[in-house]
Structures are given as C-alpha cells and as structure tokens.
Chains A and B, each alone.
Chain A
Amino acid sequence: MDKKKMIDYLLDYGIIFVLAALVAVFSMTSDRFLSANTMFTILRQVSIVGIMSVGMTFVMLMGGIDLSVGSVGAVVCVVTAYFMVHGISPVPACVMSLAVAATAGLANGFCVNMFNIPPLIATMGVMMSLRGIAYLVTNGAPIYGIDKNFKYLSQGTFGTIPYPVILMAAIFVIAAFVLKKTRLGRYIYGVGGNEEASRLSGVKIKKVKYIAYAISSVLAGISGLLLLARTNSGQPSVGSGYEMDAITAVVLGGVSISGGKGNIWLVIVGVVIMGTLSTGMVMSNISDYVQQVIKGLVLIGSIAFAQFSQKIKEHHI
C-alpha cells in the first residue's frame, strides 16, 4: 500500500483511534471506567440514540436530514402508553404505535416530495407538530399505570447483555445488510450521490425518499418504546434534543452531510464515542454545562475534519 492510500485509509477510519484515545484518557481520569460493567452501561445508554442514528444514517446518506426523530420517539412513547392503559395488550399496542411512527415518516417524505420543502425545514415542521401531538394525547401530564412487565424491555438482560443493546446491535446488522446488499440500499447511496443521475437511470427517487423517511421514523419509534420502558410512563417531553445527538453521531461516523457517502459500521463508532464521552465525563465529575459545550465542539470538529480530509483526498486523485 502506498503512502497516499495509507493516508486516505487513516482519514476514513481515524474515528476508531479517536475512540481508543477517549477510552485511554477516561481510564486514567476515573479508575472505575475500564470495566465490563461500564461498557454495558454506556451501550445501554446509547441504545436509544443509537437506534435513531441508524434511521438518520439512511436519511442522511440519501442526502436528507430528519429532525423529527426525537418527537416521533415521544409520540410513540405516549401513544403506546395510552393504548396500554386503555386495555390493549403490549404487543398490539407497540405495533399500532409503530404504524403511527411510519405515518409520521411518510408525512416527512410527503412534504419533501410534494411541496419540495428542504428536508431541514420539512422535518422541523413535523418535529414541532408531533411534539404538540404528544402533549395533546397526554393533556400535558405523564401517563402512568402501564403493564409492569414492559420495563424488562429496557432493564432485562440476556446473560449480562442488556436487551436494548441486543436490539440496537440487531438493527445495525440489518441496516448494514440493507445498505450494502439490497437494491434499496444502492438507491439510497445513489440518490444521495447524484439525484439527477439516479432519476435519469430510472430510479423512482420519490419512492426512495418516502421509504428512507419511513425507516427513520419507525426506528425512532422503536427508540420511543425503549423510552417508555425506561421511565415506565408515557412522558410527552421525552426525547427532545435526541435528533441533535443522532446527527452528531452520524456525522462523527463520517457520513457526508451532502449524502452519498458513508459507512454504517463507523456510525456505531460515532454513537459509542458520544456515549463514552458523556459517561466518561460524568464519571470524571465534569459538569453538565461543560458537557454541553464539549458536545457542540465535537459536532463542529467532526465536520471540519470531514471537509479537511475531503480536500486531502481530492488532492490524491
């Protein structure tokens, strides 16, 4: 391998070294950090945003963005709770609320496809409306009294591995398969890489967009179910700001903000970095406010790095 290729390789996978460096730093600043227990804590914590990040990866690879995921999570959280306290058993309640989530995704797709609204604005509008709907469903107060066993979805373990972590891992594996091996995955990359060329190749780009937004919303809905299981109550305020964490994780994972380029496996690394960062900072007694500042800097830093490495690579071609 020549030098140029090596540099390109480092630029592509450098994020892994960032994670290693973070782990090294935190294991020095906190003696409890380096343990299997901490690892599962981190993974359990990131699972909700992690699952949202998978959907976000689909949308961003396709050249869009989805700000509505946090609100979709909240709506699914309260709607499922509502169904369950009205006597519907957990499984059909979950299925029905995921159908609601899918509808929200189609609404995003509709605004983007039919009115040609830029995704940032379209999904922002849907985000605001859905948050309102979450409050309407609950009349502003949390819904209590849901099935006690439901919390095992969040708190149960298989051996030592928490269920949410297994769920997240399974979703990543399926997503990787869809993105790399199926026609849908090819079209998502294609539409993000060159929309006009895709249209001229006969790809139904509107359909691809509908599907991508629907996938994003359904996965956000699954995160909403985990939120419900974690708090054991339907809280209309949950999940706010999660869209930002998901976008940060995806961008950290090297997905191009203009679409077409990126690797879902590195998004996991991005998600884990976010989790390691916040858990590590908590364990090292860094204040909440400082954590906010650092998260913002991470987002800016990762995009700056992406632009910089793009420039270097262009030089190499």
Chain B
Amino acid sequence: MSEQDILLKIEHLSKYYSGVKALDDVSFAVRRGEVHAICGENGAGKSTLIKILTGAIEPTRGQFKFAGKIYEKITPPQAIEAGIRVIYQEFTLIPYLSVAENVFYGQELMKGIVIDSKEINRMTSRMCRELGIDMNPRTKAESLGVAHQQIVEILKAISQSAKLFIMDEPTAPLTMNETKIFFGVVEKLKAEGATIIFISHRLEEIFEICDSVTVFCDGKCVVTKDIAELDKKSLISYMVGRDLDENYPKPGVAPGEEILRVDNVTGNGLKNVKFSLRRGEILGFGGLVGAGRTELAKVIFGADAADRCDMMFKGKPYAPKSPADALAFGIGLIPEDRKAQGLVMEMSIRQNITIGVLKKISRGIFIDGGMEDRYTDKYMSSLKINTPSAGAPVKYLSGGNQQKVVLAKMLATNCDVLIFDEPTRGIDVGAKQEIYHLMRELADEGKAIMMISSEMPELVGLSDRIVVMSGGQSVAELQREEYSQELILGHASSKLSAEV
C-alpha cells in the first residue's frame, strides 16, 4: 500500500494513567475510503485511542500522521479543522438546542452578527433528505430517541466536512431496525468516499460492513488484517488473546432453595417482570442497553419505586422502600457506574469498605479504629486488593481494584443476594478473571447472585441461567445447554422492533 492511500497512520502511541497503561505502544494504518474496524474487549484501549485522535486527551508518548501531517498531540479545534470527527458512545449533543442548532454548533452560519437560523434549518433538512432520514430540524435534542441523537451526530460530522468518521459503538443502543437504518447511512457515506473507523462489540456487524480490522487487547495493538483473511473464531481469539470458553469458573454446588421470587414488577420502565433466584446460582440478565435491567436492579434494591412490586424474599413479602431497607433484608447492589454510584472517590479504601457497616464497628459514637482495620484487612486480603496501603484514596486505584473495593463494601454488609450491574465494565482482563472467580466463590458459599451484563461472552460463560429482557419485560429464560448468542440477541430485540 502506497503512502497516498493512507489517511491515518498511528505510530507508537501510548497513554498512561497514574501507572496504568491504557494504551501501550500502538501502531497501525487506516486507508482512504475504507471502513476500518477496531475491536477488543472493554478496557482494551479503543476509547483512549479515540480520545487522543480528537484531542480530548494528550498521549503520553508517540505520534500520528493524518492526511500527510504529523501530530504529537492535537486540540479539539485542530482535530475538527483537520477533519477528524467522532460519533461518540456517550452522546455529546446540547440537550436544549434543536437538531439543526446542534448540527451547526461551533460553526454557525452567520448573517452579519446574527445566526442564520433559516439557512441552518434548510441545510439540515437537505442533509436529512439526502441520507433518507425523516427528522424535523426544529426538534429539541433532549426529546430525540437514541438512534436519532446518533444520526444528529453524524449530520454534525458531515456538516463539518469530516475526512475521517470515528464511530464508537454506534449500534450498541440501537434496535435491529434502527441498526438497519444506521447501516444505510454508513453505506451512503462510504459510497461518497468517506473513511470510517468503526468500533463495535458485535462481531457480525464487523463482518457485515467493514473492510479491515485492527484488534486491541490490554492496551496493545495485536493485529491488523483485511476482513477477508479472518473468520469469527480467529477474530475472537485475537481479541481475548486465548480461547474463549475455558476461563469461566464452573459452579461447585447445585443451586439451593429459592431465596427471591419476583412475581410482577411493573413501573419505572418495567412491565410484568418475573423470575426466581436460588441460593448458590449466578443468574445472568441479558438484553440490550435500555431493556430495563438496571431499572429492575434499582427497584429490587429499593433505590427506585415501581407502581407494582410483588416480590417474595425468603418466603415473605418483600417491598423495600429504600436501599437501607434492602440492605437490612440482605440484598446488596454493586452498581453499574462505580465512580458515580459505588465509591466516594476522595475517601480511602478503608473508609469506603466500612462506610456501610460503621454501626457495627463503632463504640457509642466513636469508630473503633482497630475493628475497622480488621474488617479492612480481611476483605483486602480475601479479595486480593493490591495496594500498598488501605489509606490510599480509591481514585488512584485501577478499575479492577476499585471494583473490588465496591465488592468488599457490599460483602461487609453480609448480604445474601448480590446484584452485580456490569461487574467488569472498564477493567482489564486479569482483574476480570479475579472478579469472575470471586462471584463464583460467593455463589458456592450459598449466596445468590444476579448479574447484569452486556458482554456476551461473560454472560454466557458465567451464568447458570439467563433471563433475557427486552423493552422492560422479561421475555425469556434460558438454561445453560440452550445458550447461543443468536438466541439471546433474538429475544433481546423481540419487543423493540415495533418502536422507533
């Protein structure tokens, strides 16, 4: 491949966060006019790379060459100027501005000193027509659905005459129909010669739409190949760096008695959810983003209220009014976003672990330092939290260690039911393994575990049974021998096709 064919060449890029290598000496090239997939597990470094390319963060080392120019770092305005545009995973629209105002945000069309709203609306309508999308340019961004927000992001990129479109898991929140519409848009872009970096967890999509692929694993770039040279199995083994199904600990005991039965939970975005949970098992919850799994967890944990809440815990009716209530019953939640919901980032490991059990370790109004240390030591050694000191603020820990602190906090409260919401999001492969083994040990000790996971291999590998949710309902329950990615995805999108 000649130099002119290359639009983007990454050369030895690294990014370290306080000792953690988010990106480690990565090099690869993207050709003009291709759809280039980047794949890898969560925490493999894909998002870090994108942030560097768009100027959101600076690399620790290395450089990249874009359209003939070499950059050691880039600022957001320079990146836009150069023609690098991202369709972000988290949406970056201004909620209170309209579709058209968002599309032209940062590069408004002017009539003297006044923004030319008419022209902005007209241009946006035209772009929508060209891409075959039905959308009113005057609609406020906050009232759009996820798919349409994403399309606004694409329109924004187009209006900024982007040379390189980076799409960061664009289809993750989309239904099957929406994905089809979205791929139509991508095909049209490609036909017009756009270069696209496409990041996705869904391997089918990579084979469907991409020309070549670069695989990341643990912050390193493993391989770059044309899609024709790969099949699904070889791609997966590159991604995980090993064969897939050996790594999940198998249950040591048979499931015991029923501990939690949900007969009907309705409201808070849920509709007639039912399932049963037994001691000693890990019950997986599959489904797309927005299927209502987190909402369900919050209702069971008493953090959100539902209109109807028929649940039995240890044979007695259970209706928690608050998280404190749920914890008193013995139900704990390890939340999805550990930074926002799980930890007090400025506080130490010790303080975080004991925050829920201060009553137990206090004499009168005073916290018993010795008892606090014993508690902390116990969980730090049993969970293998590797840090020099229990007094270190948790914000300096790696994602994996942070997750273990959240887990320790919940274990300290001695719950019988533990709800894990995306337990391994954003942590590295080694720490994932430890978390899996911990979860299995807990189940073997007789605790009951609910695991919400959007990572298919994890869901399939670790769960003893899987409840699939879709559109706020529990639509299927699968036994281990029935598991297949296709079946789960099929159920997961069953209630969505009718909606926008």
Query: Is A186 part of the binding interface, using a Cβ–Cβ cutoff of 8 Å?
Result: yes
Within 8 A of B (CB), among A195-238: 196-204
Interface contact A202-B106, CB-CB below 8 Å: yes
Query: What 0/1 pattern do residues 131 to 157 of B give for CB contact below 8 A with A?
Result: 000000000001100000000000010
Chain A residues closer than 8 Å to B80, beta-carbon distance: 201-202
Query: Is A317 part of the binding interface, using a Cβ–Cβ cutoff of 8 Å?
Result: yes
Given contacts A186-B101, A189-B96, A317-B143, contact A202 B110 (CB under 8 A): no
Chain B residues closer than 8 Å to A182, beta-carbon distance: 113-115
State in angstroms the CA–CA spacing of A107 and B452 once bound together: 49
Partner of B97, one of A190, A202, A203: A190
Query: Is B178 part of the binding interface, using a Cβ–Cβ cutoff of 8 Å?
Result: no
Binds A, one of B32-40, B87-95, B427-435, B481-489: B87-95
Whose C-beta in chain B lies nearest to the C-beta of A180? B115
Query: Is B105 part of the binding interface, using a Cβ–Cβ cutoff of 8 Å?
Result: yes
State in angstroms the CA–CA spacing of A182 and B105 once bound together: 12
Partner of A186, one of B56, B88, B105, B142: B105
CB distance from B147 to the nearest CB of A (A): 15
Partner of B108, one of A183, A189, A197, A200: A183
CB distance from A210 to the nearest CB of B (A): 17
Query: Is A193 part of the binding interface, using a Cβ–Cβ cutoff of 8 Å?
Result: yes
CB distance from B454 to the nearest CB of A (A): 23
CB distance from A230 to the nearest CB of B (A): 34
CB distance from A221 to the nearest CB of B (A): 23
State in angstroms the CA–CA spacing of A149 and B106 once bound together: 47
State in angstroms the CA–CA spacing of A202 and B156 once bound together: 12
Interface contact A194-B93, CB-CB below 8 Å: yes
State in angstroms the CA–CA spacing of A199 and B76 once bound together: 7
Interface contact B76-A190, CB-CB below 8 Å: no
Whose C-beta in chain A lies nearest to the C-beta of B56? A200
Given contacts A183-B108, A186-B105, A186-B108, contact A200 B95 (CB under 8 A): no
Interface contact A317-B142, CB-CB below 8 Å: yes
Given contacts A201-B105, A202-B107, contact A190 B77 (CB under 8 A): no
Interface contact B96-A193, CB-CB below 8 Å: yes
Whose C-beta in chain A lies nearest to the C-beta of B108? A183
Query: Is B54 part of the binding interface, using a Cβ–Cβ cutoff of 8 Å?
Result: yes
Interface contact B96-A186, CB-CB below 8 Å: no
Interface contact B56-A190, CB-CB below 8 Å: no
Partner of B95, one of A183, A203, A260: A260
Chain B residues closer than 8 Å to A193, beta-carbon distance: 94-97
Q: What's the count of A-B pairs with C-beta under 8 Å?
A: 65
Q: Give the number of chain B interface residues (Cβ < 8 Å).
A: 27
Query: What 0/1 pattern do residues 467 to 493 of B give for CB contact below 8 A with A?
Result: 000000000000000000000000000
Within 8 A of A (CB), among B51-77: 54-56, 76-77
Query: What 0/1 pattern do residues 82 to 119 of A give for CB contact below 8 A with B?
Result: 00000000000000000000000000000000000000
Chain B residues closer than 8 Å to A295, beta-carbon distance: none
Chain B residues closer than 8 Å to A202, beta-carbon distance: 76-77, 80-81, 106-107
Chain A residues closer than 8 Å to B156, beta-carbon distance: 201
Interface contact B105-A190, CB-CB below 8 Å: yes
State in angstroms the CA–CA spacing of A112 and B92 once bound together: 23
Query: What 0/1 pattern do residues 254 to 276 of A give for CB contact below 8 A with B?
Result: 00000011000000000000000
Interface contact B113-A189, CB-CB below 8 Å: no
Main secondary structure of the interface of A (DSSP, over half): helix
Interface contact B95-A186, CB-CB below 8 Å: no
Chain A residues closer than 8 Å to B113, beta-carbon distance: 181-183
CB distance from B16 to the nearest CB of A (A): 22
Chain B residues closer than 8 Å to A196, beta-carbon distance: 92
Chain B residues closer than 8 Å to A260, beta-carbon distance: 94-96
State in angstroms the CA–CA spacing of A114 and B288 once bound together: 42
Chain A residues closer than 8 Å to B143, beta-carbon distance: 317
Interface contact A181-B93, CB-CB below 8 Å: no
Chain B residues closer than 8 Å to A199, beta-carbon distance: 76
Given contacts A201-B105, A203-B106, A317-B143, contact A190 B92 (CB under 8 A): no
Chain B residues closer than 8 Å to A198, beta-carbon distance: 94, 105-106
Chain B residues closer than 8 Å to A186, beta-carbon distance: 97, 101, 105, 108, 115
Interface contact A183-B115, CB-CB below 8 Å: yes
CB distance from A252 to the nearest CB of B (A): 19
B92, B96, B115, most chain A CB atoms within 10 A: B96
CB distance from A312 to the nearest CB of B (A): 14
State in angstroms the CA–CA spacing of A260 and B140 once bound together: 13
Partner of A197, one of B94, B101, B114: B94
CB distance from A119 to the nearest CB of B (A): 20
Query: What 0/1 pattern do residues 72 to 83 of A give for CB contact below 8 A with B?
Result: 000000000000
Chain A residues closer than 8 Å to B105, beta-carbon distance: 186, 190, 198, 201, 203
State in angstroms the CA–CA spacing of A162 and B194 once bound together: 62
Interface contact B97-A200, CB-CB below 8 Å: no
CB distance from A146 to the nearest CB of B (A): 36
State in angstroms the CA–CA spacing of A183 and B110 once bound together: 8
State in angstroms the CA–CA spacing of A200 and B77 once bound together: 7
Interface contact B108-A194, CB-CB below 8 Å: no
Whose C-beta in chain A lies nearest to the C-beta of B113? A182
State in angstroms the CA–CA spacing of A194 and B101 once bound together: 14
Interface contact A261-B76, CB-CB below 8 Å: no
Whose C-beta in chain A lies nearest to the C-beta of B104? A186
Whose C-beta in chain B lies nearest to the C-beta of A314? B142
Whose C-beta in chain B lies nearest to the C-beta of A260? B96
State in angstroms the CA–CA spacing of A202 and B160 once bound together: 11
CB distance from B107 to the nearest CB of A (A): 7
Chain A residues closer than 8 Å to B108, beta-carbon distance: 183, 186
Interface contact B96-A200, CB-CB below 8 Å: no
CB distance from A68 to the nearest CB of B (A): 27
Query: What 0/1 pattern do residues 160 to 196 of A give for CB contact below 8 A with B?
Result: 0000000000000000000001110010011001101
Whose C-beta in chain B lies nearest to the C-beta of A196? B92
Partner of A194, one of B56, B81, B92, B107: B92
Interface contact A190-B94, CB-CB below 8 Å: yes
Given contacts A182-B113, A183-B108, contact A194 B76 (CB under 8 A): no
Whose C-beta in chain B lies nearest to the C-beta of A194? B94
**A182-B113, A193-B96, A201-B80 given. 19 additional CB < 8 A pairs?**
A181-B114, A181-B115, A182-B114, A183-B110, A189-B96, A189-B97, A190-B94, A190-B105, A194-B92, A194-B94, A194-B95, A198-B94, A199-B76, A200-B55, A200-B56, A201-B106, A201-B156, A202-B81, A261-B96
Please list 16 pairs of residues, one from A and one from B, whose beta carbons are closer than 8 Å in the complex, sorted by A's number. Answer: A182-B114, A182-B115, A186-B97, A186-B108, A190-B97, A193-B95, A194-B92, A196-B92, A197-B92, A198-B105, A198-B106, A200-B54, A201-B80, A201-B105, A202-B76, A202-B81
User: Which 4 residue pairs are nearest across A and B when measured between Cβ atoms?
Assistant: A201-B106, A197-B92, A193-B94, A202-B77
